Structure 1
Amino acid sequence: MPEPIRMSRRAWVAAWAVLCAAGLGVTAGLNASSSSGPQTEMRVSAECAELIADLEKQLAKTHQEGNDAVLGFSRVQVGAENDCRDELREHFRGDQ
């Protein structure tokens, strides 16, 4: 059986440093590529679109009256396929 190749401590440290630097570079590249791409628009179901339109109307009405807030509830059961929670958050994210 052949003898294993012996490496000095400096060689191990250098190899470890190169691998860490490569990993950090790849991670930074992946983070930059995922955040700089255009966001794809989510499809909104008809029920969620109707709810968002109703909330927009209520919000416009309250702004005219001098108020700044509207409380909205999703009309479907939480956890159901057509839960509008994510669509509501996405739509009103800039209005926080």
Structure 2
Amino acid sequence: MPKPIRMNRRSWVAAWVVLCAAGLAATAGLNTSSTPDPRPEEPVSAECAELIADIETQLAEAGQEDKGNGVLAFSRIRTGAGDDCRDALRDRFRGDR
């Protein structure tokens, strides 16, 4: 039975370095290729723009008064069948940006 080829430590370290570098390069390539294209910004109605401006103003005021760990809540009663600003608000104030 033939004896297995023995490798010294330098050869093992070099092999691991090459494998790690290849893995990092592959990961970087996959991350850049899988990034979705940014969505084009859709026009926002005047009512939604007003609501977003009002919320930003309240957030700025709350930031200036920052007296600890509080909760800022918004409430708005809708009258009539006005358009729904849910998507515009979600896009503007989404926490993952």
TM-score (norm 1): 0.50
Asked if the contact 1:48–1:87 (Cα under 8 Å) also holds between the matched residues in 2, the reply is yes
Q: SS at 1:94's partner residue?
A: coil
| Structure 1: unaligned runs, 5 residues or longer | 1-31
Structure 1 moving runs of 4+ over 4 Å: none
Q: What is the CA-CA distance between 1:36 and the residue it aligns to? A: 2.7
Aligned length: 63
Q: Return closer, same or farther for 1:74/1:89 CA change in 2, 3 Å cut-off.
A: farther
Structure 2: state its 5+ residue gaps.
Answer: 1-32
Partner deviation per Cα, 1:2-58 (whole Å, 9 max, x = no partner): xxxxxxxxxxxxxxxxxxxxxxxxxxxxxx67x532321021100000000000000
Considering only aligned residues, what root-mean-square deviation do their CA atoms show, in Å? 3.1
Letter in 1 for 2:62: T
Q: Percent identity?
A: 52
Q: 1:49 to 1:55 in 2, by over 3 A?
A: same
Q: Which has the higher contact order (CA 8 A, sep 6+)?
A: 2
TM-score by length of 2: 0.50
Structure having the higher helix fraction is: 1
